[in-house]
Structure 1
Amino acid sequence: MDWSSSNVLALALQNTVYLWDASNGSASELVTVDDENGPVTSVSWAADGQYIAIGLNSSDVQLWDSTANRLLRTLRGGHQSRVGSLDWKNHILTTGGMDGQIINNDVRVHSHIVATFRGHRQEVCGLKWSTSGQQLASGGNDNLLYIWDRSMASMHSRSQWLHRLEDHTAAVKALAWCPFQRNLLASGGGGSDCCIKFWNTHTGACLNSVDTGSQVCALLWNKNERELLSSHGFMQNQLTLWMYPSMVKTAELTGHTSRVLFMAQSPDGRTVATAAGDETLKFWNAFGMPEVKKAAPKAEHPGPFPHIRRIHSFQEWENWQWSKNRLR
């Protein structure tokens, strides 16, 4: 799941990618891939909000023009298995695979592989470029967190990382660069770790570690206030809002009945969409206006999009907007 700068939420379900326009509530199907290539294992919007990358279980990556509903190209030959993580830096699409490789793809040229980062021994499950585009953070199922510098990547180097961080004791899927403090990265560990850690990526120092008590699945910074939102798994499957840097809890949002795997933030930064293993999609006014953002329960506030209902299951979403009889 990913929310574009043009206010369109992309959601992958099995082999199909759906697009929901939050500005008018319209929904459409972008593509359904065949079983040989599917399921869809990752989606990521480019900064312009028009082009979207789709990672596939087959190891291919497709680039689509969402406005024209047209496949532009397919990137092949980089990975050996599914592509579970994606992130953009201008015209560079960075892909992370189950094979442990991280590849920079220049989507403008025919020979698209321009750099390879090697370090992870297992699947790359988290991938985020810093706001400056100078550093790349990657988390893996090998419990490792790497910080890479773009100037150190090459086609042939096998160990060009800036920092190799071993403090987490479970898979590192949740990554979020701070929007107001350069070189500050938050990372979250899986079920046997449960910690949110904060890093100075210039020095590689761990600045703080907070035991949340449950699996950390995703992290989002508030763009307007010094707050961090985390999503969790067992036992409560909740969202937790933290003040930074004190890491005092200011709210816990419950409603999902399985781990909250993905979070996506609206372009204005106020609304957060969550998708969980319970097969529901929910919208929260987690980062609302200062005078209402601490109201409880947050999920009942109408938020910046008055047409968004408090909670949508996939079935409710279908009945509400879709002209087709069934979601595939």
Structure 2
Amino acid sequence: MSTITSVELNYIVFRYLNESGFIHTAFSFGNEAGISKSSIDGTLVPIGALIRLVQKGLQYLEMEANLNNCDMNLDEDFSFLQPLDLITKDVQELGKMVNKKRKKLHKDRHKDAEKEHEGGRGWVKEKERHEKANKECEKDRDRVKDLKELEQKHGNQSSKELVTDQEHMVTSMHEQDKALEGLEPMDICTVSTSQPCEIRSSDVIVLEGHTSEVCACAWSPTGSLVASGSGDSTARIWSIPEGRCKSALLNDPPNVFVLKHVRAKPNEKSNDVTTLDWNGEGTLLATGSYDGQARIWTTNGELRSTLSKHKGPIFSLKWNKKGDYLLTGSCDQSAIVWDVKAVRWKQQFEFHSGWTLDVDWRNNVSFATSSTDTKIHVCKIGENLPIKTFVGHQSEVNCIKWDPTGSLLASCSDDMTAKIWSTKHDKYLHDFREHSKEIYTIRWSPTGPGTNNPNKNLVLASASFDSTVKLWDVELGKLVYSLNGHGDRVYSIAFSPNGEYLASGSPDKSILIWSLKEGKIVKTYTGDGGIFEVCWNKEGDKIAACFANNTVCVLDFRM
């Protein structure tokens, strides 16, 4: 009787699901989590904890998991493989290819080293050869990520069409590499002309305890509590001492409550915490999980209630301002309003034909939802149909946000545009097209009418896979600044409470803090992992950030 290993069985199941049209989403960064499109180089990519918007690459999650079980050294061996090998060959074939190329490389290096050594400079040449090889590997791994995104977007194409697209992508990436070779380091930040100040390690508290990538974080709106959600099936509430980090940490170490999202079965990775949000009073924390359940917790870590009705992972959730309703969006294509006091669902809205990626309240009873179906619906509790539908994006709508007054809705999409909508009009008011790649998220500034900073202009910020953050004047409908400082995609942005600064986080492991008045970097911090999310406390003197290396960092910010 023939047998197959667990690795082979996993791979067969994975290929069956993939070829049957199933799409998985994930949320993880870098090889700290051990699962990503190109985790070997620590590059941040949206895979792992299975959160919204990251349906562009889970094939590598399964592939790398299988490769790990084949005793392959990913740090070295992954570079031996071409992108098409990973897509078209099974695990055993890949293993044989790697072993063959590894032996050949070792033999070639040995011969070269002997020849170079005869000239007295063999070790120098070997070092140069290693450095050159590492640089080439970095480029190959970046190409792998982009190829996988292309494959996922063209999942319905024939394999022949897919190969053609991928070959074109490789050619394009080679051309981009050549174009970038002549750039000097100063070309990275075209706006800033002065040297920013690096935040010292003594001004940083590193919060440890999570055992997997930390996907989300949020400060309580009323106190010194910061919540974090992770792929380890827990959320945590950290009590951060007031004052500067160094002195506060010595006098009063952070206290933490662990909020365990119990798994239905042992070893089942289905309870990853994908999103979280505090109510307006800061007394309750809501978490959304990949198991499709929303949970409500007290500030001391007590589970208040579990809300179950979704049939798929929850990608987003938000409290209304009053705090009596919780809104959740799921990949089951629906959004649900929950009556928190009654601990039951109030109304389910099933108008999308694709995953519900984001939700946002307009006021206490109406809200908007966005989806992979490219549409945006504005809904109201008690109404059986959307009160408004916005159509104009050409690809999935990743994020939506109402402005502080609830009169304008901003949206961003994989179609590389951000748009501004009004319920008084059927067509968008503004169509911002200056980004060159997908726009991942957007945020309104806490300025203008209806805010605590009414004398400052309202601004919209957008963060993109093109490594830039752009600031838009919504009244004039034009670009104010293009903030070019990150070396990789930008996944998170947050305005300071006074609207004077913007923090941004990226897979490049850096947090950049920008002055909106000058459009330049004023502070920087570099961590040990890619960054999922950044957020400010209510006083505006601390920034929290969650990392792919399983940590949360709290930074002191003072100018």
- TM-score normalised by the chain length of structure 1: 0.78
Match of 2:77 in 1: none
User: 1:51 is matched with which residue: 281, 284, 299?
Assistant: 284
Match of 1:128 in 2: 360
User: 1:150 is matched with which residue: 370, 373, 381?
Assistant: 381
Residue 186 of structure 1, CA deviation: 0.9
Q: Which amino acid aligns with 2:334?
A: Q
Q: Is the 8 A contact 1:3 1:266 kept in 2?
A: no
Q: Over residues 245-288 of structure 1, what are the superposed CA-to-partner deviations in whole Å (9 max), with x where a residue is unaligned?
A: 22433333345444333444555555555454x2847363555x
Match of 1:218 in 2: 441
Find out whether 1:205 has 2:205 as its counterpart.
Answer: no
Match of 2:314 in 1: 83
Residue 12 of structure 1, CA deviation: 2.1
Q: Over residues 1-32 of structure 1, what are the superposed CA-to-partner deviations in whole Å (9 max), with x where a residue is unaligned?
A: 33431254433231332445485554735424
- Is the alpha carbon distance of 1:265 and 1:317 closer, same or farther for their aligned partners in structure 2, counting shifts above 3 Å? farther
Q: Which amino acid aligns with 1:178?
A: D
Match of 1:164 in 2: 389
Pairs aligned (count)? 298
- TM-score normalised by the chain length of structure 2: 0.48
Q: Is the 8 A contact 1:279 1:313 kept in 2?
A: no
User: 1:96 is matched with which residue: 309, 325, 329?
Assistant: 329
Aligned-partner Cα distance in 1 for 2:291–2:469: 32
Residue 162 of structure 1, CA deviation: 1.3
Match of 1:6 in 2: 222
Q: Which amino acid aligns with 2:403?
A: C
Find out whether 1:241 has 2:459 as its counterpart.
Answer: no
Q: Which amino acid aligns with 1:238?
A: T
Aligned-partner Cα distance in 2 for 1:18–1:251: 36
Q: Which amino acid aligns with 1:183?
A: S
Q: Over residues 211-249 of structure 1, what are the superposed CA-to-partner deviations in whole Å (9 max), with x where a residue is unaligned?
A: 13221111111112321111111x3x2221222222433
Aligned-partner Cα distance in 2 for 1:269–1:204: 30
Aligned-partner Cα distance in 2 for 1:28–1:3: 14
User: Larger radius of gyration, structure 1 or 2?
Assistant: 2
User: 1:179 is matched with which residue: 401, 404, 423?
Assistant: 404
User: 1:119 is matched with which residue: 351, 354, 372?
Assistant: 351
Match of 1:282 in 2: 511
Q: Percent identity?
A: 21
Aligned-partner Cα distance in 1 for 2:502–2:258: 22
Q: Which amino acid aligns with 2:314?
A: V
**Where is the strand percentage greater, Structure 1 or Structure 2?**
1
Q: Is the 8 A contact 2:498 2:540 kept in 1?
A: no
Q: Over residues 46-70 of structure 1, what are the superposed CA-to-partner deviations in whole Å (9 max), with x where a residue is unaligned?
A: 111221111111111111112x221
Q: Is the 8 A contact 1:42 1:85 kept in 2?
A: yes
Match of 1:324 in 2: none
Match of 1:189 in 2: 413
Aligned-partner Cα distance in 2 for 1:186–1:320: 29
Residue 92 of structure 1, CA deviation: 0.4
Aligned-partner Cα distance in 1 for 2:330–2:399: 16
Residue 135 of structure 1, CA deviation: 2.7
- Is the alpha carbon distance of 1:185 and 1:75 closer, same or farther for their aligned partners in structure 2, counting shifts above 3 Å? same
- Is the alpha carbon distance of 1:125 and 1:211 closer, same or farther for their aligned partners in structure 2, counting shifts above 3 Å? same
Residue 200 of structure 1, CA deviation: 1.0
Q: Is the 8 A contact 1:101 1:124 kept in 2?
A: yes
Residue 101 of structure 1, CA deviation: 0.9
Q: Is the 8 A contact 1:281 1:313 kept in 2?
A: no
Q: Is the 8 A contact 2:546 2:553 kept in 1?
A: no
Match of 1:296 in 2: 520
**Where is the helix percentage greater, Structure 1 or Structure 2?**
2
Q: Is the 8 A contact 2:230 2:274 kept in 1?
A: no
Match of 1:108 in 2: 341
Match of 2:306 in 1: 74
Aligned-partner Cα distance in 2 for 1:254–1:22: 34
- Is the alpha carbon distance of 1:162 and 1:10 closer, same or farther for their aligned partners in structure 2, counting shifts above 3 Å? same
- Is the alpha carbon distance of 1:220 and 1:22 closer, same or farther for their aligned partners in structure 2, counting shifts above 3 Å? farther
Gaps of 5+ in 1: 288-292, 322-328
Residue 316 of structure 1, CA deviation: 11
* Larger RCO (alpha carbons 8 Å, 6+ apart): 2
